[in-house]
């Protein structure tokens, strides 16, 4: 591999900046200079199908790529069949329906827990239940790509290796590379481009050609190699410049989603990332800071 500019880079927040209307949400994303946005259903479904369709239409016109984060309870790999699995399947089914309506790139979900099982058995369960989910989605014409997220729990399901194994066995499931989680479980190990490159290379081997890396990023607090909370950028030890340098070694496009708790952090990460990747000037990124800071209190500050 050699240095070059990443094929195409999109960047945006982990939350839709306004729930008042699709028009206002897109206006805010454009005002802040974002080119991506993750629809936030972690806590609840707040968007209906007409809202999603209009939001997707406006996003495409604005050159903004969308993704959906499914509810936290919508995980695969349940040890027992019953109410909780059925609820999770329903959540992922509905997330896929919204993603299809909005034209989103993928649905992000969590891989679940070991629940006393050996790691291989837990992964087998995730893959089996994903296969059943896929059959259900195909019948409803909402078989969109899914993304399984690397988690921030050092002794649980969801390591990079687990996520790559699941993606390798399910061609429609891509790894979601959460570098805050990786930084936490390695006790602050992500400080050099080579460390980021190793993860990107693992993902590159299991994602279909042409599909983008899907990346979550923020500064992070951790204890005993487990995440505790997202931090304003600069308060922890994770930096985005090494990620930008690592991305230059790949032809694959990338979508980077900021999970920072405040707008200033997201804009700082974006400026540093684009400067490292070399695809647009840092001055353009910083030029939207002033207009973004004028947002009214009712608007999401991501």
Q: What is the reported pLDDT for 300?
A: 66
Average pLDDT value for the chain: 92
2 is a domain residue: no
- With a cut of 70, say whether residue 3 has pLDDT above it: no
Domain presence at residue 3: no
Residue 219 within any structural domain of the chain: yes
Bigger pLDDT: 294 vs 200: 200
* pLDDT greater than 90 at residue 281: no
pLDDT of residue 101 exceeding 90, the answer is yes
Query: 297 in a domain, yes or no?
Result: no
Q: pLDDT over 90 for what percent of the chain?
A: 88
Give the span between the Cα atoms of 294 and 31, in whole angstroms: 10
67: domain CATH number is 3.20.20.150
Structural domain containing residue 246: 9-292
Is 299 part of a structural domain of the chain? no
In this prediction, residues 92-111 reach a mean pLDDT of 97
**Does 295 or 223 have the greater pLDDT score?**
223
pLDDT value at residue 292: 40
Whether 240 is covered by a domain: the verdict is yes
Distance CA 199, CA 175 (A): 10
Res. 215: pLDDT tops 80 = yes
Tell me: the pLDDT tens digits for 229-238? 999 999 999 9
101 within a domain of the structure (yes/no):
yes
The per-residue pLDDT for range 16-46, each reduced to its tens digit, is: 999 999 999 999 999 999 999 999 999 999 9
pLDDT digits (tens, 9 = 90+) for 126-175: 999 999 999 999 999 999 999 999 999 988 999 999 999 999 999 999 99
- Does residue 285 carry a pLDDT above 80? no
> Is residue 259 over pLDDT 90?
yes
Number of domains in the chain: 1
Does residue 4 lie within any of the structural domains?
no
Q: Which range (4-8, 125-129, 209-213, 267-271) has the least confidence?
A: 4-8
Mean pLDDT of 213-236: 97
């Amino acid at each position: 591999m050699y240095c070059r500019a990443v094929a195409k880079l999109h960047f945006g927040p982990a939350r839709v900046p306004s729930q008042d209307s699709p028009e206002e949400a897109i206006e805010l994303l454009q005002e802040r200079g974002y080119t991506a946005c993750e629809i936030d259903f972690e806590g609840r479904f707040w968007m209906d199908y007409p809202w999603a369709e209009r939001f997707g239409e406006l996003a495409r016109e604005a050159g903004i790529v969308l993704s959906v984060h499914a509810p936290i309870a919508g995980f695969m790999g349940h040890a027992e069949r019953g109410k909780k699995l059925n609820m999770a399947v329903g959540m992922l089914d509905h997330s896929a329906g919204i993603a299809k309506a909005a034209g989103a790139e993928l649905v992000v979900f969590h891989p679940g827990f070991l629940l006393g099982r050996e790691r291989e058995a837990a992964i087998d369960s995730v893959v089996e239940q994903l296969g059943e989910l896929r059959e259900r989605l195909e019948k409803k014409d909402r078989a969109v790509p899914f993304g399984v997220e690397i988690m921030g729990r050092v002794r649980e399901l969801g390591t990079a290796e687990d996520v790559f194994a699941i993606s390798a066995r399910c061609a429609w499931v891509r790894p979601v590379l959460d570098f805050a989680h990786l930084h936490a479980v390695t006790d602050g190990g992500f400080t050099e481009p080579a460390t980021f490159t190793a993860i990107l290379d693992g993902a590159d081997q299991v994602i279909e050609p042409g599909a983008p890396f899907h990346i979550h990023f923020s500064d992070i607090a951790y204890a005993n190699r487990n995440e505790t909370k997202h931090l304003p950028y600069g308060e922890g030890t994770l930096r985005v410049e090494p990620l930008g340098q690592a991305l230059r070694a790949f032809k694959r496009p990338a979508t980077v989603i900021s999970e920072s708790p405040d707008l200033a952090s997201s804009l700082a990460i974006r400026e540093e990332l684009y400067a490292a990747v070399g695809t647009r000037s840092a001055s353009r990124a910083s030029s939207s800071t002033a207009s973004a800071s004028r947002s009214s209190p009712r608007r999401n500050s991501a």
